[in-house]
């Protein structure tokens, strides 16, 4: 946490967020591009949700049965989690950098257990 404070990484995001209500969208976009070039040592995991279509998609007359998700890793990001809904299903794709996060399988099992608990409670 001290490293985060020393490099002012959290402050940059806070400043950009606070300016979004005051600045024209073009200036906010320029600020976001500028900040995107700054090394983010504090970010080690990225999670994204991608709401997909509720209906089944077809290509060349064949139904798409499922999607395989991948979150590219770069900079200091060691684990990527993508959540994708499609045709009433929810899929998780977990990407891990084995050299820095060798126990990514524990995360996957935790997600599976958590979903099972939610289903049992519903």
User: What pLDDT digit, counting tens, does each position of 87-114 carry?
Assistant: 998 899 999 999 988 999 999 999 999 9
Torsion of CA 67, 99, 79, 108, to 10 degrees: 60
Average pLDDT over residues 61-76: 86
Question: What is the predicted pLDDT for the residue at 8?
Answer: 54
Flag whether the pTM goes above 0.95. Answer: no
Query: Model confidence at 19, in pLDDT bands (50, 70, 90)?
Result: low
DSSP state of 13: H
How confident is the model over 25-66, as pLDDT tens digits?
Answer: 666 666 666 666 666 667 788 888 988 899 999 999 999 988
Mean of the per-residue pLDDT values of the chain:
80
Single out the residue of 115, 114, 74 nearest to residue 95, CA to CA. 74
Question: What is the predicted pLDDT for the residue at 93?
Answer: 92
Please enumerate in sequence order all residues whose Cβ is within 8 A of that of 46, keeping only pairs 6 or more positions apart, or say none: 71, 77, 79, 80, 81
Helix, coil or strand: residue 84: strand
């Amino acid at each position: 946490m001290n490293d985060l404070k020393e490099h002012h990484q959290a402050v940059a995001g806070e400043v950009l967020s606070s300016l979004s209500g005051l600045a024209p969208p073009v200036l906010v976009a320029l600020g976001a591009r500028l900040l995107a070039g700054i090394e983010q040592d504090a970010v080690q995991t990225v999670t994204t949700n991608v709401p997909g279509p509720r209906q089944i998609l077809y290509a060349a007359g064949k139904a798409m049965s499922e999607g395989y998700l991948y979150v590219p890793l770069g900079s200091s990001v060691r684990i990527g989690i993508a959540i994708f809904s499609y045709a009433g299903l929810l899929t998780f794709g977990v990407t891990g950098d084995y050299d820095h996060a060798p126990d990514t399988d524990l995360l996957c099992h935790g997600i599976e257990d958590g979903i099972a608990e939610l289903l049992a409670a519903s």
